[in-house]
Amino acid sequence: MESIESLGEFGLIKRIAKTITIKQPTTKKGIGDDCAVIDTTADNLKVVTTDLLLEGIHFDLTYCPLKHLGYKAVAVNLSDVCAMNARPQQITVSIGVSGKFTLKAIDDLYDGIRAACDRYGVDLVGGDTTSSLTGLTISITAIGEQRTGKLSYRDGAHENDIICVSGNLGAAYMGLQLLEREKKVLHGDKTSQPELKGYEYILERQLKPEPRTDVVDFLEKIGVVPTSMMDVSDGLSSELMHICTQSDKGCRIYEDKIPIHEQTRKMCEELSINPIVAALNGGEDYELLFTIKQEDYQKFQSTPGPEIYAIGYVCDKDKGRRLITTGGDEAELQAQGWRFFSSNTSDK
């Protein structure tokens, strides 16, 4: 196989461009000119979001295969678009690559990027390519759209709104704990095989998160616009703090209503971690956390669709932000993010 060096920057871009087909009607020009060209539609608003991922800080190639990394890098950006209640349509991908990478590695990365684009009907319309001194850098920008008046911001939660989440929490974090444990085992003993059996679900949640475009579609179908919304990237506790702070409100959530997968519980037991702590502070689940008016709640129950869990309600700011435990005690919520657990895991 050719090397990146012999192919050169333009050869590499050509190689990437060759594999891309345009799907979105709003994409008027993709890769190949100085700019991509995107149509604007009357009455619609565009949303734009960017993420920067650095090797050794945000990802570790020892246990995150490049194809998964490509997929995940796109997925988390699309998740931000969903968190505005918008639909993703285009992305740009910029990469900085060091000499240690082979052409095969870049192909793998773009296989993952393309798989995510195909799955979510998003066009890769441009980017930038440069060499780096060490490691891999990936920056992705996603562009999406929603009709005026249908976007959900972080600051719109009202007193008595119901707090909802679109799926179980803590699984991605426990998947990461499992991978880190196995990495340590591997470093100590080259002959041992990772013991990942029975934990496929939490591994998938860590390695292959999915943006909840289906939830955005469902909200449209039942005619509900969340009063506020975020995606769970840093952990439920931290995201709730953002919504409460920006909306100038307090909240109550119930321990026994927070959805936690059985594999998450099992891994927690093995590593002596309280599952509720993993759910509150774990992060990277990329579920949607949102608030809705009380009268909208019955619309979720009367139409079949993705499972939505009501976990609490919004209250006056003076009442604080609290977790009501299964035993009936109240605990103050704190935005601890990852840091609650250890200082050497990836952070964002």
Using the rule CB under 5 A, give the single segment among 106-114, 121-129, 309-317, 329-337 that binds Mg ion: 121-129
Instruction: Count the residues of the shown chain that bind ligand ADP, applying the rule CB under 6 A.
Output: 13
Using the rule CB under 6 A, give the single segment among 32-40, 150-158, 197-205, 225-233 that binds ligand ADP: 32-40
Amino acid, single-letter form, for residue 5: E
Residue 43 partner contact from Mg ion, ligand ADP, none using kind-dependent CB cut-offs of 5 to 8 Å: none
Residues 6+ apart with CB under 8 A from 109: 66, 67, 69, 70, 95, 136, 138
Q: Which of 2, 39, 128, 316 touches Mg ion by CB under 5 A?
A: 128
Q: Which of 6, 25, 33, 304 touches ligand ADP by CB under 6 A?
A: 33
Q: Which of 4, 27, 31, 232 touches ligand ADP by CB under 6 A?
A: 31
Report in angstroms how near the CB of residue 70 gets to ligand ADP at its nearest.
11
Structure letter (DSSP) for residue 197? T
- 3-class DSSP state for residue 296? helix
Residue 215 Rama label (left phi>0; alpha psi -120 to 50; beta): alpha
Supply the DSSP string of 47-92, one letter for each residue: EEEEEEEEBTTTB-TTTS-HHHHHHHHHHHHHHHHHTTT-EEEEEE
Q: Are 270 and 325 in contact (CB under 8 A)?
A: no
332 binds ligand ADP (CB under 6 A): no
Q: Which is nearer to ligand ADP, 127 or 282 (CB)?
A: 127
Residue nearest ligand ADP (C-beta atom): 126
Residue 142 partner contact from ligand ADP, Mg ion, none using kind-dependent CB cut-offs of 5 to 8 Å: none
Backbone angles phi, psi at 166, to 5 degrees: -90, 0
Q: Which of 7, 13, 186, 324 touches ligand ADP by CB under 6 A?
A: 13
Q: Compute how many other C-beta atoms are within 10 angstroms of the C-beta atom of residue 62.
A: 12
9 binds Mg ion (CB under 5 A): no
Q: Which of 3, 28, 32, 100 touches ligand ADP by CB under 6 A?
A: 32
16 binds ligand ADP (CB under 6 A): yes
Q: Compute how many other C-beta atoms are within 10 angstroms of the C-beta atom of residue 90.
A: 25
143 binds ligand ADP (CB under 6 A): no
Q: Compute how many other C-beta atoms are within 10 angstroms of the C-beta atom of residue 139.
A: 18
Give residues in contact with ligand ADP (CB under 6 A). Answer: 13, 16, 31-34, 93, 95, 124, 126-129
Give residues in contact with Mg ion (CB under 5 A). Answer: 128
